[in-house]
Amino acid sequence: MNKLKNYAKGSWQEGEGTGTALVNAITGEQFSEATSKGLDFKGMLHYARTTAGPVLRKMTFHDRALMLKALALYLTEKKPLFYTLSAATGATKADSWIDIDGGIGNLFVYASKGRRELPNETFYVDGKAERISKNGTFIGHHICVPMEGVAIHINAFNFPVWGMLEKIAVNLLAGMPAIVKPATVTSYLTELVVEEIIKSNILPVGSLQLICGSAGDLLDHVTEQDVVTFTGSASTGKMLKTSKEIIENSVRFNMEADSLNCSILGPESNPDTEEFKLFIKEVSREITVKAGQKCTAIRRVIVPESLTEIVIKSISDRLKTTILGNPAVEGVRMGPLASLEQVKDVRAKVMELRKSCEIVFGNYDSFEVMGADRNKGAFLPSLLLYCKDPFNNKEPHQVEAFGPVSTVMSYKTTDEAIQLAKMGRGSLVGSVFTSDDEFAKDIVLGSACMHGRMMVVNAACAAESTGHGSPMPHLIHGGPGRAGGGEEMGGIRGVFHYMQRTAIQGHPTTITKITDVYQAGGFQKEDLVHPFRKYFEELEIGETLVTHKRTVTETDIVNFANISGDNFYAHMDVTSLEGSIFTSRVAHGYFILSAAAGLFVDPKKGPILANYGLDECRFLKPVYVGATIGVRLTCKEKIAKEKREGETPQGVVKWLVDVYDETGETVALATILTLVARKEE
């Protein structure tokens, strides 16, 4: 029997002895087996730490982001291979799209965010400096640096591709290598994707290793620099989270557990409203997509009491049209579960639910399957249950049947809807379908404490809604309580899970040197050459131009008002100043900023290519007629941009603009950005 291979310490290795049988979810036929017996788990960790770790940490965020982009483009070309094998998991084409394209999409998103939102540095400067001394000679700041361990990802069976790619996208961008242990039952698809990743030679050696089978004693060798993530059942997650080395070494452990997510229909809805129709469509889809095997699937359907019967009928009518069977057969819209073991588990959980719920649609003992043998494949029909008294029965809020199963329950008031939403005691996602924004606000604010994500849908956003069950890389994925208490993704937030945030203290000049970002109060170097005459590489952080000065006149204020159209009373009507914060006619703030530009800009053509924008601006002191202003222009930060074909090599330079008056006090502070040419290589 063919065995899956593990990728460990730079080579493909078969596990020892007989492994776990891997079967086609549609036909029930065994085609492979998986085992990790004999792997040197301790050696795998050491290999990742000593080979890929140092290489990844030397790369900048932009280097790592470009690496992710290259990998995403490479895997996109290989999608036909992945789709073919994905069918063995029972996935329809739409199911495979969520898993495969969704996973690759995560790589693309983090490749983009890494270049747009992170510096071209090996570390990240977090937030703003804190002035913690009277004279400003001792300040504090925060930086984030990559942890020097390994990201260990223990993933669930339902998303063998997405589950891996959404996690490694983040740890690789942070500068950490990974060991991936997919759920054994669908690990054959993960193995194929990893095989292609290794073939691509895009990642540094040791960046990714794969375990197909048990994780063995892997967690016995983790250190304080490692990070463990887990996706799966809450019971398994708790067991791993409380293992000896995890606790003793305070290892970061991120858990995402299956949860009893809910969807709520607004009380104003009726069968003629668009929101009602959208709700029925979404609930039905979440029951059948991936055969309900999604950690984000809708398990609890919360509806107004007056609409209970019509909701049950409408969902049932829609489920009747969903044909169960072999996804390769035309017309089939729902495939089997991942395994026969999964079918047994779901049936057992439905039996538990029936203690307080009745089945109002579906029969797991009598159903038809198209294009396959229902006795050999892992088939289970869609099941809709109804709980008459959800406030006094625990089962629908505690028991999850991880398949095509949902339970309808009713509420009378908004407070009751909120109570039901929270009775799941921690969910990955809750959704609200309503045209009443006041109701939506009450539900979100009333139950957000028990949800990791909340989605509100109405007719205005439905066409572009990403759906109840679709975690997006831009937003956090995770939830409190039963959902595991963790967070994944969330845009750049997720990157910091694999980095150490460290407070740093010292003189502004020292902190400037450490962070490569100018800190107020730090040493300012002046040069005879105007900074706008210098190329990107020639500019130094802290380099400062002190300009000549100009006196603000009443004519300046009047002319600026005429040009801008800004005739605010404080600038133009001295008779209205009584009771205001101004003592006389005051110059426009934007005039001060414009006048500052007139003082520091060198008009000649040179390395400065364009004004790129304004990051922040504060007007700190009124500037009255007769005041004299000058500018200190300081090179604050430099960000090299990716070189594009046909484009002048360039970088972004951030400048601190400090405008001061004749008393020496700062009247305005701004950070402006310019595009500056780099020297041709």
Mind telling me the catalytic residues? 256, 295
Separation between Cα atoms, residue 451 and residue 260, nearest integer Å? 10
| Residue that has been written with the tokens 């509100």 in this structure | 456
* Residue 81, number of CB atoms within 10 A of its CB: 15
Half-sphere CA count of 497, side-chain side, radius 13 A: 28
Burial class of residue 605 in the structure, from the number of CB atoms within 10 Å of its CB (0-12 exposed, 13-18 middle, 19+ buried) = exposed
Running DSSP on this structure, what letter comes out for residue 97? I
Contacts of 412 (CB under 8 A, 6+ apart): 304, 305
Q: Which of 486, 424, 496 is nearest to 230 (CA)?
A: 486
Separation between Cα atoms, residue 202 and residue 206, nearest integer Å? 11
* Residue 1, number of CB atoms within 10 A of its CB: 10
Q: Which of 34, 375, 29 is nearest to 185 (CA)?
A: 34
Separation between Cα atoms, residue 187 and residue 210, nearest integer Å? 10
Separation between Cα atoms, residue 230 and residue 233, nearest integer Å? 9
Q: Which of 431, 463, 458 is nearest to 298 (CA)?
A: 431
Separation between Cα atoms, residue 255 and residue 257, nearest integer Å? 6
| Residue that has been written with the tokens 């991942």 in this structure | 338
Separation between Cα atoms, residue 401 and residue 299, nearest integer Å? 8
Instruction: Please count the residues of the chain.
Output: 681
Separation between Cα atoms, residue 527 and residue 544, nearest integer Å? 8
Q: Integer distance in angstroms from the first to the last C-alpha of the chain?
A: 55
Backbone dihedral region for residue 437 (phi beyond 0: left; psi -120 to 50: alpha; all else: beta): alpha
Separation between Cα atoms, residue 442 and residue 466, nearest integer Å? 22
| CA–CA distances in Å: residue 618 to residues 80, 127, 572, 622 | 54, 17, 22, 11
Taken in order 492, 496, 497, 499, the sign of the CA dihedral is: positive
519-529: string of b/e by CB count within 10 Å (b at 16+)?
bbbbebeeeee
User: How many contiguous H segments (helices) and E segments (strands) does the chain have?
Assistant: 20, 29
Separation between Cα atoms, residue 433 and residue 278, nearest integer Å? 8
Cβ–Cβ under 8 Å, residues 55 and 204: yes
Separation between Cα atoms, residue 652 and residue 250, nearest integer Å? 40
